[in-house]
Structure 1
Amino acid sequence: MTYIEEYYNKIISGDIVACKRIIQVYTMLVDRLYNPKDNWVFDEELGNRPIEFIETFCKQAQGELGASLELQLFQKAKHQAVFGFVDEQTRLRQYQEVLDIRGRKNGKTTELAADELYMLVGDGEGSPECYIIATKLDQSKKGFNECYKMVQQSPLLNKHLKKRKSDIYFASNFGTIQALASNSNGLDGLNSHMVTIDELAAIKNRDIYDLMKQSMSSRRQPLLDCITTNGFVRNSIFDAQYEYACNVLDGKVKDDRFLAFIYELDDRDEWDKEECWIKANPGLGTIKKFEFLRDCVNKAKSDPAFKATVMVKDFNMKENSSSAWLRWEELNNESKFDIKKMGFRYGIGAFDLAETTDLASAKVICMRPEDENIYILSMYFIPEEKLNQEEDNKEDDSVPYRLWEKQGLLRICEGNKVNKYHILEWFKEIRDVFDIYIPWIGYDPWHVDDSLLKAYEDEFGKETMIKVRQGVYTLSAPMKELRADLCAHKVIYNNNPIDKWCLSNTEIKTDINANIQPIKGMDNRKRIDGAVSLIIGYVVLKDKMIEYENMI
């Protein structure tokens, strides 16, 4: 019996509690064992080679130094799947990319180091170039150092592998293992045989992922292996890869070269159910100590900030910042509407011009009779020069502004500043194109000069413009009401990814009286303009609610 079948049988029998995504992938793998598709077949000998190499030659670099590595059943099943399915004629591997999402402290780094050594020494490739990738070089060197320490603990590997200034070198096939970062020079000229990304969720932009994937194009059977936990950064390469993996597992996307192992809870409510913890922690009880996880969960029950960390890092649940105003499940609303079919007649406008050299945001809030939902129309504005700077500096926002422009969610202003009058033009479009009258528009007076204010008053009337000063006195109560409506999923923002990004970035400052106001937090790359404009609009909505309800 193969390890794939053994692991699958334990899942089906209930001996191992597994999540939906793991059941999906192993059901697919077992089916392909017995019912080969296209020209792909399973070769058990090839599937066992990396397992035998690791357990024979690789030694512990942590804990009990020098002890033999013993892979767990879930690791053996994974290796058989990755290395055992091959082309019937050429015997070259089917899978060229692997995404493995599992909770922290489940043996990720040790396993990847062992895999790097196998791909360097035992994969039969001439001059294999094996790379360990991270955002920062210090981070990628952690995996590299794990490889080297593993070599040092193994007499056989230490005899043949030599550490040079920037790599580990295997003279017999001229192969190397090297640590790289997104800001490394010369990435375009690589000819990668294996690329390891440890903690994909920490990668701030997808450029290095795309570049490294393309660097494998001339190899016979390359492997891109990503092992990661979830993270707090949203709209990242991790989110894109997670969504892609789910689409492959669900059969929505056909990709015979991609294999995903997603260990996660099926439901957020399972986080305090001990019998469910193994769903996200396949090494629980062997690699990861059960008592350690129990202590973390108990602490999280009385510490909301730490709970966010446990949910993300131990259970692979999606969150944003542990100090954020809103949890991800609170702000995430994928409902959509067609403005042309909603029959909106009146809306409340708002805009935020915090920095004219940066992102700016405008909103129109709409409601309908006998409908408790609150509908949001959004538009964003960014200077062309700022956008060009973002594209040149890959460590900046790392969000797809150009794509958002193509989707009609963002408008680019010529020059180095947002043209304030473009926002006025958008409000006029909402009125003239969609026949939505805007009786009030909220704004922060700090950023609006007299000429701009007069332009708005000339177009919409002197009584239209409502000052909304920034501070706890003005914003606290409306923010708390907005949060309650977002949590109840009554605020429908058309699944706008920029709105979602800004909401997830928003943190709060609280005074001694528990009054709150929005802040950006420590990371200046995070934009909250969309959240601020929505809050401004909510201040006006709550203040004018009786009049507005009479209008609609």
Structure 2
Amino acid sequence: MITYSYVDEYIRQWRDGEIILNKERIMLIEWLEGDILTREDIYFDSEQIENFVRFSGKWYFELEPFQTFLTCFIFLRYKEDNSLVFDEFFYYMARGAGKNGLVSALSNYFISELHGIDFYGVSIVANSEKQAKTSFAEVYNAIDMNDELKSYFKHQKALIESVDTKATFQFHTSNAGTKDGGRDGVIIYDEVHQYEGNEIVDVFSGGLGKVKDSREFFIGTDGFVRDGFIDRLKERALRILKREVPLEEDSLFPFMCCIDDEEEMHNPEVMWQKANPMFHPPLSDYAKTLYKKVFKQYKKLENDSSGYENFITKRMNLPKVDLEKSVASWEKIKATNQEYDLAELKKRECIGSVDYASIRDFVACGLLFLKNDYFIIPRELSYSFVCKPFADKHYGYSTAKGEGNNKKDHRKFAPIREWEDEGLLKVLDKDSMDPYIVVGWFVELRNEGWNIKKIVGDNFRMEILRPLFEAEGFEVEVIRNPDAASALLSPKIDLAFDEERVIFGDNPIMRWYSNNVLVVLDNKGNKLYRKKEPVKRKTDGFMMFLYGIWASRDLEDYDVSDALDVLEALNF
């Protein structure tokens, strides 16, 4: 087994009970000791490790034990060709754990002559210019305040360059359309919890591999964007930690810090170190100051619980959904990804439901089935239509493929183009929705043999759609008061999500719709469904689902074809 003092010391601290680790880091140690450190074809590059430890200590800060532990794996190499064993790194920790400080020191080191690779560009990417400049400004100021560093690095407001290696350090905002893949050696993706999809990474990683020892760092604390990039990255990391994926197929190094259970939040002295490794004893001066600040925030929750969701998500790194505000927890929304038998469903009746709240943004359509008290809207039988001007303005739809004005830094609340490519929606090049397209979608499904008992929607736009549906021979039911329907159906919907009896299949847009729902109480205590954000976080698909449940009382929970077989067998 290969070894290194920093690795041994960190693991020893845990085994001796000096520090406490969360389950993901325990899995990390088990994976390293079982699959990685036992290999005979790899080695720790001690020269680079020690160079960086000294560099950080001299110009930035003394590294904590968890940071020296991480450093070792940044410079772990194969003996045969000196290539890196890990070229991707996922640092997932609570706010204040020093992620940006570490990447600042690393960025400066990577462009230095100590690292020794000419033209080794380092780029840091974040959603906002302010965040992207955090580490850049730290390196800039370190150079600006030290004459010795000034002799090694040229520092300008947007670019830092090594005098010896001509390697550069710069920052970018996450607007993927503004940058083609360059010749970077390192890309650091900051605030990955805000990334809706893979577009940013796909663009910025395009230039990697052109210089030696290319690396990518993904750093962030969890947030409130669900089913986005960070959730997929966490799932990928867990597959590695569970030893389901061999190193040769995925060279990501996952360092994940979070409390294991919500109750651990109430044991600050012992359990907070699970989420924030800065709180491993003994605490540094920085950690002592941070701990006092976080503890004050925690105590304030006793008198004002409004910050609870943010505290446990950001300070404990445990995503928290306030069930008084959300229709279901994210885990229950993810549980809608269950299998179903389309051929069997085709033998049953279904409800066609549609939410057509606005003619200028989204329309959601679907077929809802009832089977053994499960509410099923198959991925193949739900669809959304989006007006292109709305998609361009609020989701940067056209800029995603390089069209149009790219000056605005669109905050991508939804990966519209990705969903369109997956066949979940269609972007219409129209200023307002064409009702004939909506009706035509249901007609096409009926022609394919789906047994649509009726079409249901709310009163707001059905005066437009109803005559068109009836002209095609559909029975139409109009919900006159959607709020009254919400209040009546909310207990049934709550229970269905809680018991995992809602099935959408693998449908990210339906998960997105559901996660965007804000639950409010009226003055009588009834639950009403609203939007968590009024413009960009749409709920049309969830409301379409609600309307389907409203009319599901008319569905018989049995196979229609079986009943027809019985009738055919009768001798009248």
TM-score range with shorter-chain normalisation? 0.7 to 0.9
1:425 CA drift (Å): 4.4
What does residue 357 of structure 2 align with? 354
**Residue among 338, 343, 352 paired with 1:340:** 343
Matches within 5 A, 1:272-311: 272-274=266-268, 275-284=270-279, 286=283, 287-288=286-287, 289-300=290-301, 305-311=306-312
Which secondary structure state, in structure 2, belongs to the residue aligned with residue 466 of structure 1? strand
State whether residues 376 and 503 of structure 2, in contact with CA within 8 Å, keep that contact through their aligned partners in structure 1: yes
1:500 CA drift (Å): 0.6
What does residue 29 of structure 1 align with? 32
State whether residues 359 and 380 of structure 1, in contact with CA within 8 Å, keep that contact through their aligned partners in structure 2: no
What does residue 404 of structure 2 align with? none
CA distance in 1, matches of 2:510, 2:480: 21
1:178 CA drift (Å): 1.6
What does residue 139 of structure 1 align with? 131
CA distance in 2, matches of 1:477, 1:388: 33
What does residue 447 of structure 1 align with? 461
Structure 2 residue 52 is the aligned partner of structure 1 residue 41:
no
Structure 2 residue 224 is the aligned partner of structure 1 residue 213:
no
What does residue 331 of structure 2 align with? 329
State whether residues 162 and 170 of structure 1, in contact with CA within 8 Å, keep that contact through their aligned partners in structure 2: yes
Structure 2 residue 546 is the aligned partner of structure 1 residue 535:
yes
> Alpha-carbon deviations, 1:66-109, whole Å to 9, x = none?
xxx121111110111111x1131443433222111001111112
1:114 CA drift (Å): 1.0
State whether residues 4 and 30 of structure 1, in contact with CA within 8 Å, keep that contact through their aligned partners in structure 2: no
State whether residues 111 and 162 of structure 2, in contact with CA within 8 Å, keep that contact through their aligned partners in structure 1: yes
What does residue 112 of structure 1 align with? 103
State whether residues 134 and 203 of structure 1, in contact with CA within 8 Å, keep that contact through their aligned partners in structure 2: no
Structure 2 residue 12 is the aligned partner of structure 1 residue 9:
yes
Which secondary structure state, in structure 2, belongs to the residue aligned with residue 214 of structure 1? helix
State whether residues 97 and 257 of structure 1, in contact with CA within 8 Å, keep that contact through their aligned partners in structure 2: yes
Which secondary structure state, in structure 2, belongs to the residue aligned with residue 212 of structure 1? helix
> Alpha-carbon deviations, 1:421-458, whole Å to 9, x = none?
444444456556565442x43212222345x3133234
1:503 CA drift (Å): 0.9
CA distance in 1, matches of 2:355, 2:487: 17
Alignment gaps of 5+ in structure 2: 401-409, 561-572
Task: Provide the TM-score with structure 2 as the length reference.
Answer: 0.82
CA distance in 2, matches of 1:516, 1:243: 33
CA distance in 1, matches of 2:549, 2:304: 30
What does residue 66 of structure 1 align with? none
State whether residues 132 and 178 of structure 1, in contact with CA within 8 Å, keep that contact through their aligned partners in structure 2: yes
CA distance in 1, matches of 2:457, 2:317: 39
Distance 1:313 1:8, change over 3 A: same
CA distance in 1, matches of 2:237, 2:297: 29
Q: Which amino acid aligns with 2:51?
A: R
> Alpha-carbon deviations, 1:173-224, whole Å to 9, x = none?
2232222113488622632122222221123453232222122221101222
State whether residues 381 and 418 of structure 1, in contact with CA within 8 Å, keep that contact through their aligned partners in structure 2: no
Which secondary structure state, in structure 1, belongs to the residue aligned with residue 216 of structure 2? strand
What percentage of aligned pairs have identical amino acids? 21
1:294 CA drift (Å): 4.3
Distance 1:360 1:304, change over 3 A: farther
What does residue 259 of structure 1 align with? 253
CA distance in 1, matches of 2:398, 2:423: 23
What does residue 424 of structure 2 align with? 409
Q: Report which stretch shifted further, 153-162 or 132-141.
A: 153-162
State whether residues 160 and 169 of structure 2, in contact with CA within 8 Å, keep that contact through their aligned partners in structure 1: yes
What does residue 563 of structure 2 align with? none
1:303 CA drift (Å): 5.3
State whether residues 144 and 155 of structure 2, in contact with CA within 8 Å, keep that contact through their aligned partners in structure 1: no
Matches within 5 A, 1:128-527: 128-154=120-146, 156-183=148-175, 187-188=179-180, 190-254=182-246, 255-274=249-268, 275-284=270-279, 286=283, 287-288=286-287, 289-300=290-301, 305-319=306-320, 324-333=326-335, 334-341=337-344, 345-368=348-371, 371-377=372-378, 378-383=381-386, 385=388, 389=392, 390-394=396-400, 395=410, 397=412, 399-405=414-420, 407-411=422-426, 417-428=432-443, 433=448, 436-438=451-453, 440-450=454-464, 452-459=465-472, 464-469=475-480, 472-522=483-533, 524-527=535-538
CA distance in 2, matches of 1:168, 1:205: 29
Task: Provide the TM-score with structure 1 as the length reference.
Answer: 0.85
1:42 CA drift (Å): 2.7
Distance 1:189 1:291, change over 3 A: closer
State whether residues 177 and 399 of structure 2, in contact with CA within 8 Å, keep that contact through their aligned partners in structure 1: no
Distance 1:408 1:137, change over 3 A: closer
Which secondary structure state, in structure 1, belongs to the residue aligned with residue 116 of structure 2? coil
1:272 CA drift (Å): 3.4
CA distance in 2, matches of 1:303, 1:434: 56
Q: Which amino acid aligns with 1:360?
A: V
1:118 CA drift (Å): 0.9
State whether residues 362 and 385 of structure 2, in contact with CA within 8 Å, keep that contact through their aligned partners in structure 1: yes
What does residue 407 of structure 2 align with? none
CA distance in 2, matches of 1:332, 1:246: 16
Distance 1:402 1:340, change over 3 A: farther
CA distance in 2, matches of 1:33, 1:454: 67
State whether residues 321 and 504 of structure 1, in contact with CA within 8 Å, keep that contact through their aligned partners in structure 2: no
1:384 CA drift (Å): 7.5
What does residue 77 of structure 2 align with? 86
Distance 1:200 1:383, change over 3 A: closer
Q: Which amino acid aligns with 1:128?
A: Y
Which secondary structure state, in structure 1, belongs to the residue aligned with residue 279 of structure 2? coil
RMSD, matched Cα: 3.3
CA distance in 2, matches of 1:50, 1:214: 27
Which secondary structure state, in structure 1, belongs to the residue aligned with residue 397 of structure 2? helix
> Alpha-carbon deviations, 1:368-403, whole Å to 9, x = none?
3xx343323451222574598443234264644455
Q: Which amino acid aligns with 1:284?
A: F
> Alpha-carbon deviations, 1:106-147, whole Å to 9, x = none?
111211111111112131111332222112222211221122
Q: Report which stretch shifted further, 484-493 or 27-36.
A: 27-36
> Alpha-carbon deviations, 1:236-280, whole Å to 9, x = none?
222232222223333344435321111123344544344433222
Which secondary structure state, in structure 2, belongs to the residue aligned with residue 367 of structure 1? strand
**May I ask how many residue pairs the two structures share in their alignment?**
531
Distance 1:482 1:185, change over 3 A: closer
Q: Report which stretch shifted further, 218-227 or 287-296.
A: 287-296
CA distance in 2, matches of 1:465, 1:437: 11
**Residue among 84, 92, 97 paired with 2:88:** 97
State whether residues 280 and 314 of structure 1, in contact with CA within 8 Å, keep that contact through their aligned partners in structure 2: yes
Alignment gaps of 5+ in structure 1: 60-68
State whether residues 353 and 455 of structure 2, in contact with CA within 8 Å, keep that contact through their aligned partners in structure 1: yes
